[in-house]
Amino acid sequence: LQFERPFWNRNQLVAGIDEVGRGPLAGPVVTAAVVLPADIKLWQINDSKQLTAAKRRQLYEQILTVALDVSIGVGSRQLIDEKDIYHATEITMAAAVQGLNIPINHLLVDAMHVPLDIAQTRLIKGDARSVSIGAASIIAKVYRDELMQAYAKIYPHYGLENNAGYGTKEHLLGLKQFGICPLHRHSFAPVKKYL
């Protein structure tokens, strides 16, 4: 809470921003903006990668219950290929912030810059250091994982339900046997050779 407290003490609202899905070969990049109340009591929030799927799901529900506001940004495969993954992530983070329903005084961002005219603090490993960024990390991760589970039913050849679009052995084998699907990022090296 050390990064949030100075703002809360001045009755200001702060949003935590994080992303998931920069590395996969397929699917969108997903960002979340989460505004937590100053009396937050969810002590198990952490970097979503450090939590089990069951714990993430439990915290996801709890965060949605207590948060003052939550917004998701989804950056498509086309945006990623057009802008590159870094800039697509920035644009998608901005979309998540713009989707919030309440005015924010400050952004706490996991290691990136959000291209908006709002004061912000960039924190390396922010998802493990700030409760707001950790909450955003959990929201984005659960949202994207469930999206990829749904896509796995439409595009069953790549094991997306197991790998969420990352370049696992099963996924690469699917690419080799069946070629690409509309979710595959054309600008990513392992996909390029199948275009």
What would the mean pLDDT of 18-32 be, rounded to a whole number? Answer: 97
What total number of domains does the chain contain? Answer: 1
| Mean pLDDT, rounded, of the chain | 95
Which residue is associated with the tokens 């590159």?
84
Counting Cβ atoms within 10 Å, is residue 48 exposed (0-12), middle (13-18) or buried (19+)?
Answer: buried
Cα dist. 13→3, 37, 54, 102, 183 in Å?
12, 8, 29, 9, 36
Q: How many residues does the chain have?
A: 195
> Do the domain assignments include residue 159?
no
> Do the domain assignments include residue 33?
yes
> Do the domain assignments include residue 122?
yes
Number of continuous H segments (helices) and E segments (strands) in the chain: 9, 5
Query: How sure is the predictor about 192, in pLDDT bands with cuts at 50, 70 and 90?
Result: very high
What would the mean pLDDT of 136-148 be, rounded to a whole number? Answer: 97
What would the mean pLDDT of 149-169 be, rounded to a whole number? Answer: 97
**What digits encode the pLDDT tens for the residues 80-130?**
999 999 999 999 999 999 999 999 999 999 999 999 999 999 999 988 899
| 46 has pLDDT over 80 | no
Strand partners of residue 123: 110
Question: Sign of the CA dihedral 29, 50, 60, 171?
Answer: positive
> Do the domain assignments include residue 37?
yes
| 168 has pLDDT over 90 | yes
Percent of the chain beyond pLDDT 70?
A: 98
> Do the domain assignments include residue 87?
yes
What range does the domain containing 137 cover? 5-147
List strand residue ranges (DSSP E) for 14-105, in order.
Answer: 14-20, 29-35, 69-75
Q: What is the pLDDT of residue 47?
A: 64
The CATH number of residue 62's host domain is 3.30.420.10
| 12 has pLDDT over 70 | yes
Q: What is the pLDDT of residue 173?
A: 97
Q: What is the pTM of this model?
A: 0.95
Nearest Cα residue to 22 out of 49, 52, 50: 49
> Do the domain assignments include residue 177?
no
> Do the domain assignments include residue 93?
yes
> Do the domain assignments include residue 160?
no
